[in-house]
Amino acid sequence: DSGVTQTPKHLITATGQRVTLRCSPRSGDLSVYWYQQSLDQGLQFLIQYYNGEERAKGNILERFSAQQFPDLHSELNLSSLELGDSALYFCASSVERAGRRTDTQYFGPGTRLTVL
Amino acid sequence: AQSVAQPEDQVNVAEGNPLTVKCTYSVSGNPYLFWYVQYPNRGLQFLLKYITGDNLVKGSYGFEAEFNKSQTSFHLKKPSALVSDSALYFCAVRDKNRDDKIIFGKGTRLHILP
């Protein structure tokens, strides 16, 4: 158990809908990362938050957004869903103090999103 | 731009034999290198990392990896494979001179044959 929790575990929805995925980082970790894992694209970095602020952006679509709250949990919002958004979405956290890029990321169990 | 390559989609090894999972990288500066493992229906688990110092890094579950700067490689190794090592393995790199993005390889599926 990594200490990172994600809810829900599974999510089935229809095209055009909007969903919210939630992540609670390990106690004390300030950084949260979101990844998308699909069969054809592999593991894609979406976005990182550090202590409530966006820190790095990857291949995140404009239909997707995220935020990190004062208690450090994070939510990933996916809107206008398409069939191709079906994937596993992982959250990871790390201590990641300023300037420390060597910190290990710890991954949650993931949310499996199915868009029908 | 930084990148990481895992040239093998799948590696098959007989139980008890040594295993190697290959990884090569490209960064503009000095790399930070990581190996993660993913078991079915689970998130990624950290195995080991290279930051600086000794080129041979030891990690969890008896795995080790060797950093080779001249060949820009960071191959994962284990002297004697177990059936329970069967999983998906990801190599990742972070360039210390760039922003905080970590780049993952596409993954190598390791099958240990009993």
Can you tell me which residue has the tokens 């869903």? Answer: A81
Instruction: Indicate the average pLDDT of chain B.
Output: 92
Q: Are A90 and A44 in contact (CB under 8 A)?
A: no
Cβ–Cβ of B43/A96 closer than 8 Å?
A: no
pLDDT single digits (tens) A44-66: 999 999 999 998 888 899 999 99
Q: Do B104 and A43 touch (CB under 8 A)?
A: yes
B101, A101: Cβ pair inside 8 Å? no
- Give how far A58 is from chain B: nearest CA, Å: 8
Query: Do residue A45 and residue B51 have CB atoms under 8 angstroms apart?
Result: no
Nearest to A94 by CA among A49, A31, A24, A33: A31
Maximum C-alpha span of chain B: 44
Say which DSSP state B105 is in.
-
Of B46, B100, B104, Cβ closest to residue A55: B100
Q: Report the residue from A50, A56, A90 with minimal CB separation from B43.
A: A90
The Cα B94–Cα A104 span in angstroms is: 11
DSSP 3-state percent helix, strand, coil across chain B (nearest 5):
5, 55, 40
The 10s digit of each residue's pLDDT in B25-37 is 998 888 899 999 9
Residue bearing the bigger pLDDT, B92 or B2: B92
Residue given tokens 């390559």 in the structure block? B5
| Coil/strand/helix, residue A75 | strand
Indicate whether A101 pLDDT > 70. no
Please give the DSSP secondary-structure letter assigned to residue B72: T
Burial class of residue B29, CB neighbours in 10 A (0-12, 13-18, 19+) = exposed
Asked if B82 has any chain A CB less than 8 Å from its own CB, the reply is: no
